[in-house]
Amino acid sequence: MTKPNFFNVLILFLSVYILGALLIGVIVDLPPETQKLLQIFDFAICIVFFLDFCVQFYHAESKLKFMRWGWVDLVASIPMIDIFRIGRLLRFVRILRVVKAFKSLKDFLDSYFENKAQGTLNSAIIVAVLMIIFCSITILQVERLPESNITTAGDALWWAFVTITTVGYGDHYPITLEGRLIAAVLMTTGVGLFGTFTAFVASWFVKG
């Protein structure tokens, strides 16, 4: 049984994100709250990776044949939290995550969307998730003034979510120029994604 195409695309994008996060963690000295945010994302993504492994293993006709490559997916789903930060194991997991990223790319290229509308919606959902991740991490880097009200991982996540959904409660907001530019990009993305969702619903009703 073939996995849903949306799941293929999701795994690909999450794998690419993981590689980016690994690179940032190596070359940049991140503040504690940003590290905490990255760990939250990493743990959540590893749950998706593990579910991906379980689904593939369950539907594999030959479990033994599947495990020739399946073990890579299984080990790559180990989260990079402190309890698992054991020297060689940590380096091994990092290497396998690189392998998984290329494997995910191959899976994506081997698949295709059943229809254009569904493909557009899938892409829009993934863009929304990635924008929330990217902007919540970035906002913590630029909002470092004493009077800033986005100071924790929770603040950043909440702000990014309400901004991209165009709700904008106003309890957390950027005060720096860089932060406001990030907010503008996130809001513009949210408006565009809402239009995509509306178009998909309209096309669904027309077909129905």
Q: What percent of the chain has pLDDT over 70?
A: 74
Determine whether domain 1-112 maps to CATH 1.25.40.80: no
Q: How would residue 34 be classed by pLDDT, with cut points 50, 70 and 90?
A: confident
pLDDT at 118 over 80: no
Ranked by mean pLDDT, the top range of 36-45, 89-98, 175-184 is 175-184
3-state SS assignment for residue 169:
coil
What is the architecture, at CATH level 2, of domain 114-208? Orthogonal Bundle (1.10)
What is d(CA 44, CA 112) in angstroms, rounded to the nearest whole number? 26
**Would you say the C-alpha torsion 175, 181, 187, 189 has a positive or negative sign?**
negative
What is d(CA 196, CA 61) in angstroms, rounded to the nearest whole number? 38
Which tokens hold the place of 110? 């081997």
Does 148 or 168 have the greater pLDDT score? 148
Query: What pLDDT, on a 0 to 100 scale, did the predictor assign at position 9?
Result: 73
Query: What pLDDT, on a 0 to 100 scale, did the predictor assign at position 166?
Result: 81
What is d(CA 98, CA 109) in angstroms, rounded to the nearest whole number? 17
pLDDT in tens, 46-71: 898 899 889 889 888 888 888 887 88
DSSP 176: S
Query: What pLDDT, on a 0 to 100 scale, did the predictor assign at position 70?
Result: 84
Which tokens hold the place of 149? 């009200």
- Where in the chain are the domains? 1-112, 114-208
- List Cβ<8 Å contacts ≥24 apart for 198-204: 199/117, 199/120, 200/117, 200/118, 200/120, 200/121, 200/124, 203/117, 204/117
